[in-house]
Amino acid sequence: MMGREDWAGLASRLDIASGLFIEGQYVNARSGKTFDCLNPATDQIIAKVAQGDVADIDLAVASAQAALRDGRWRSLAPRTRASILLRLADLVEVHTQELALLETLDMGKPISDVLNIDIPEVVNTLRYFAECIDKIEGGVTATPVGTLHTITHEPLGVVGAITPWNYPLMMAVWKLAPALAAGNCVVLKPAEQAPLSCTRLAQLFVDAGGPPGVFNVVNGLGPEAGKALALHPDVAKLTFTGSTAVGKLLLGYAGQSNMKRVALETGGKSPQILMPDLYDLDAAVDRAVGGIFDNAGQVCNAGSRLLVHQSLHDEFVQRFIARAQQAYQTGDPLDPATTLGPMVSQTQRQNVQARIDQAISDGAKPVLGGLSPDTQGAGAYLQPCVFTGADNTMRIVREEVFGPVATVQAFETEEQALAMANDSDYGLAASVWTADLKTAHRMVGALQAGVVWVNCFGDGDMTQPFGGYKQSGNSRDKHKDSLLSYMQTKSAWFQLG
C-alpha cells in the first residue's frame, strides 16, 4: 500500500497541463493571461493556468459548432460512440493515480477519498451512459391509413457546462457523459478553484478516439468565461452545478441571449430526521457524521440539519461528538490515513468561519469546534463544528454553509419534524431514520426534497436521479432520463397516399 511519501513523490513528478483545450489540443488563452492554481493544504502554487475569457469561449463554441455541423460525433453509429466512451472509462482507470493526485493537490480532498469514491464514480458514470446510447427509442403512433407519424430524439447541439470545485471530475462527468452520449458537442468551464483534472480528461477523450472539437475546456473566472458561455447565442443548453445565487444569474443570461435551456443543481440544506423508534442509534450516528463531515462538508446535499427526537437528543449529541472526533482528523491529504482535508481555499475557510462566528453571536451553542483556529500555519484547515440550541430563524440553520458545520435540533412529534425539515428555501435531499415502514413511507411523501434516504444517507447508484426541489434547482443528474434531457424530440408526419 502506498504511503504519504510515495504519493508526494508521484506528485513531484506530475506533468500538469495548464492550457485551455480547444479543437483537440492545449492552447494558451488569447489574452495570454493566467491565474494561480493553489494547493489548499500548503497555500503553494501548483500551476499557472490559462485564463480564458469571452474570446476563448467564442473560439471553443465555434470549434464545437463546427464538429456538430459536420457530424463527426453525432453521425457516428451509436455503438461507435459508445465504444469511445467505454475506452475513455478504461483510460480513466489506467490514469487513476494521476487524476487522483490532480484532485487532491488542486482541491484538498484526501487521496483515499478520491481513489475509493470519486474515480470509481467517474468510471461508472461513463460506462453507464455509454451503454445507454443505443437504448434510446423513438415511436410510431397510430395514424389513419396512408399516413405515418414518427417521433425521434436528436441532440440539442452545443452544450455549455459549468461545474463545481467540490467534486471536480465527478460532477463534470455527471454532465459530460450524458451530453456526449446524446450526440452533443460540449464546452466545459470548470471551477477556477480546481480545474486540473477536467483539463486532463479532455485529452483522454481524444486519446480514446473522440474527435477533436467535440469536447472543449475553457478554464477561467466565472464572471468572465462562465458568463460568456451562458450568454453565447450558439449554446443550446447550459448545465450548471453550484450556488443558488449564480444559478439565478445564469437563468437571466439565458433570457438575455437565446432562451437556451438551463439545467441547475444548486444549493442544499439537507435534514436528517431521527425518529424515536429507529432501530440502531449507532448506525444513525455514524451515517449522520459522514453526511456532514465527508469532504469537509463541501457537499451540496450535506446533511447539515440534524433533527433528533427529544428522547434521543442528548444521547445522540454525545455519541455524535465522540464519533466525529474519532473519525475526522485533519492531516496532509496525500496521506492515505487522512480523513479530513482542508477547505478548497483560504477564502472558503474564512467564509465558513464567519458563519460559525455569526451562529455563536446569534445564540447557538458550539458543542464541538466553533473557535477561530490559529491562522498562522499554512493550509485552509477547519475543524468540524456542531451546534445545539439553534432554531429555524438563525442563519446557521437557514443558509448553506458548505463546510463541516452541523446543527442539532430537537423535535417532539412527526408533524413538528416535517415542518422543521420543510421550512427551508432548499429541497435537495433528506433522510429519515425509523423502524416503521408506514412512518417511512408517510414521511417520504411529505418531505419536500428530490432525494430521500431511509435508514441511510448518501446511498445510491446510477439509476438514482439526483436533483432537488425549490431553490435547489430544476434538473436531475444521473439516471437514463438525464440522457434524454440533453436531447429534443422531432415529430415527423408523412402523407403516404
Phi-psi category of residue 370: left, alpha or beta, with phi > 0 → left and psi -120 to 50 → alpha: left
- Taking the alpha carbons at both ends of the chain, their separation in whole angstroms is 72
DSSP conformation letters of 337-381:
T--B---S-HHHHHHHHHHHHHHHHHT-EEEE--SPPP-SSSS--
Residue 34 has which C-alpha cell?
A: 493566467
Hunting for cell 451546534 — which residue is that?
A: 387
Determine the 3-state secondary structure of 20 from DSSP.
strand
Determine the 3-state secondary structure of 144 from DSSP.
coil
**H/E segment holding residue 154:** strand 147-155
In sequence order, the 6+-apart residues with CB closer than 8 A to the CB of 268 are 299, 300, 301, 302, 400, 426, 428, 429, 468, 472
Of the candidates 4, 34, 7, 8, the one whose C-alpha atom is nearest the C-alpha of residue 19 is: 34
Q: Distance between CA 418 and CA 445 in Å, rounded?
A: 11
Hunting for cell 477547505 — which residue is that?
A: 343
**Does the annotation mark 5 as catalytic?**
no
Q: Kindly report the number of other CB atoms within 10 A of residue 40's CB atom.
A: 29
C-alpha torsion angle, residues 413, 305, 432, 411 (rounded to 10): -10
Given the residues 23, 121, 265, 414, the one annotated as active site: 265
In sequence order, the 6+-apart residues with CB closer than 8 A to the CB of 122 are 89, 92, 99, 169, 170, 173
Of the candidates 236, 197, 185, the one whose C-alpha atom is nearest the C-alpha of residue 63 is: 185
As annotated, the active-site residues are 265
